[in-house]
Amino acid sequence: MSDHLGITLVAATQNQKEVTINDAVNILDRSGNSDASIAMTDANLTLTAAQVRQNGLITLTGTLTAARVLTIPAGKRQVIVRNLTTGGFTLEIGYAAGTRATIPSQGSIIIQGDGTNCNAVGATAEIRSFTAGVPAAAAKTTGVLFSRREVILAGAAGLGAGADVAATASATFILLKNGPSFGTYNFAAPATTSTFTVAADTTFDVGDRLTITAPSAADATLADVFVTLRACFT
């Protein structure tokens, strides 16, 4: 059998090798191009090996009253999964153990199962905000309530802030998760662009809050501030 899709291999002494080869080609074709629509009951679900291996797209439907878990069989696999269930709840997909990926309600993501953990591949979202005029001292300039699990990565990749009017002095904005700070961005004088500092990956689960507050002492001139934050789905 093949390592990941479980395809029967041709034996050296086998008759009618074309039968095995044709079956293998069809399985490969289905693994990238077939799709399956699966109606969930209001409960966790274990997908079969055939469902995961022989479909390039899996769509989940049904009505949920809570977040549910999809368990996939052992083995490496990359597949697109859509959460078209109603009720507004997320789905988590993964192995019986290990990290699971989160699929938001009405969302679609590419899932990469590496045999141990299951991750969302290339799935990101951007959070944008704008503060008109000069931000008041310690004012909240941004507030986000998360409806899915997202991670802002250490090193602040994909984060940026700019201002139409430059700062007179150094001005530091604070990034907070549910109150405590997890990072900053700073406008040096007389800059209109900022430098972000995020020391560690910061995970936001459903219901968590991201807040940005202005410098404790308002800068005399810094005004009209644009911010973009990039978060990854997990």
* 134 and 76 within one domain: no
Mean residue pLDDT across the chain: 88
Q: Give the integer Cα–Cα distance in Å for 38 and 45.
A: 10
Kindly report the pTM of this predicted structure.
0.62
Would the pLDDT of 75 be above 70?
yes
Domain that holds residue 176: 124-233
Residue 177 belongs to some domain of the structure: yes
Closest C-alpha to 159, from 120, 201, 103: 201
Whole-number CA gyration radius for the chain = 24
Residue 221 belongs to some domain of the structure: yes
Cα–Cα separations (whole angstroms), residue 178 to 14, 93, 135, 173, 203:
64, 26, 21, 16, 11
Q: What is the pLDDT of residue 139?
A: 95
| 41 vs 24: which has the higher pLDDT | 41
Which of 121, 136, 159 is the endpoint of a domain?
A: 121
Q: Give the integer Cα–Cα distance in Å for 103 and 126.
A: 16
Which of 88, 121, 154 is the endpoint of a domain?
A: 121
Report the half-sphere exposure of 46 (CA within 13 A, side-chain side): 7
* 34 and 104 within one domain: yes
* 101 and 150 within one domain: no
Q: Of 107-111, 129-133, 136-140, give the lowest mean pLDDT range.
A: 107-111
- Name the pairing type of β-strands 209-213 and 202-204: unpaired
Can you tell me the mean pLDDT for 18-42?
80
Can you tell me the mean pLDDT for 143-158?
85
User: Is residue 94 within 8 Å of 192, Cβ to Cβ?
Assistant: no
* 228 and 134 within one domain: yes
| 24 vs 161: which has the higher pLDDT | 161
Q: List pLDDT tens digits, range 90-119.
A: 888 999 999 888 887 877 888 888 989 988
